[in-house]
Amino acid sequence: MPLTLTSLGCASALPTKDNYFTAHVLNIRGRSFLLDCGEGTQLSLRQLGISLGAIDHVFITHLHADHVFGMLGMISSMHLLKRKDPLYVHAPRGLEKLIAFYFDFSGKQDPSFPIIHEVVEGREVFPVMDCDEAAVMAFPLSHGVPTYGYLFREKPVRRSEPRSVAYCTDTAPFPELAGWIKGVDLLFHEATYLEKDLESAIKFKHCTARQAAQTALQAGAGKLLLGHFSSRYKETPAYLAEAKEIFPNTELSTEGRTFSVPRRLIST
């Protein structure tokens, strides 16, 4: 019964020849959830053999272009494929205007399937979805616009401990976050900058790799996965080296790579 996170894109505001815009697929026991939807997401899904029809819930952290502009192309393709099943989009208020503008401006008819915008809005930690595979919570992050992270907690399965994944991008560091995701098995956390560019991180409300590692350490996370890399850096190994000084069990997200969260059996 797998629990995996597949990276579709790891770039921040500007893509590079190696990194597409931010998007990831979380698979919990055979069900796929899309986390953010930057430009090019549907191309990455096709390259990895992940069907658009397998996506029924999308979780958008915030409405900056590098996290949401892939939605329109993906919705258009779903429409052309004559999708009928609803698409649930969990996102901050305002996304519905972008989707309505696209269909109005392009002159297209209404989509062949319902698009249900579940508005994400709240303080501290609050529920946003519950299904057979997982319970999903959201929590506010510290960025320039309303931004939310997501915590997926697997539903219990006999003789094993439920696993969990937290998805945190974009954000400046803040003390409450570690407590909200305490004990998470896999933490995806943005690392837009290196410590040498801390002033830029502060100015634009992002994190350095070192700060992401400090959050993972404070939260007692099982593994840290870094992403959302700035295009100013030509190579990414420096992110890994900086984070590992604080939190050794750190890896870098790269396009097309899948990270597994192992199942832990309950001792009897």
pLDDT tens digits along 184-229: 999 999 999 999 999 999 999 999 999 999 999 999 999 999 999 9
Q: For the chain, where are the E strands, in sequence order?
A: 3-9, 23-28, 31-35, 55-59, 87-91, 115-119, 126-130, 134-140, 148-154, 160-161, 164-168, 186-190, 223-227, 250-252, 258-260, 264-265
Report the mean per-residue pLDDT for the chain: 94
pLDDT on residue 16: 82
pLDDT computed for residue 122 by the predictor: 97
| 186 DSSP β-pair partners | 165, 223
- What domains appear along the chain, each with residue ranges and CATH number? 3-254 (3.60.15.10)
Q: Are 79 and 111 in contact (CB under 8 A)?
A: yes
- Concerning whether 66 is annotated as a catalytic residue, the answer is yes
Q: What is the pLDDT of residues 102-145, one digit of tens each?
A: 888 777 677 889 999 999 999 999 999 999 999 999 999 999 99
Which of 71-85, 105-119, 158-172 has the weakest average pLDDT? 105-119
Question: To which residue do tokens 């494929």 refer?
Answer: 81
**Helix 95-106 and helix 70-80: axis angle, to 10°?**
50
Q: Letter for the amino acid at 235? A: E
From the candidates 18, 56, 66, 197, which is the catalytic residue?
66
pTM: 0.95
Query: Residue 263, SS3?
Result: coil
Helix (H) / strand (E) element for 178: namely helix 176-180
More confident residue, 14 or 258: 258
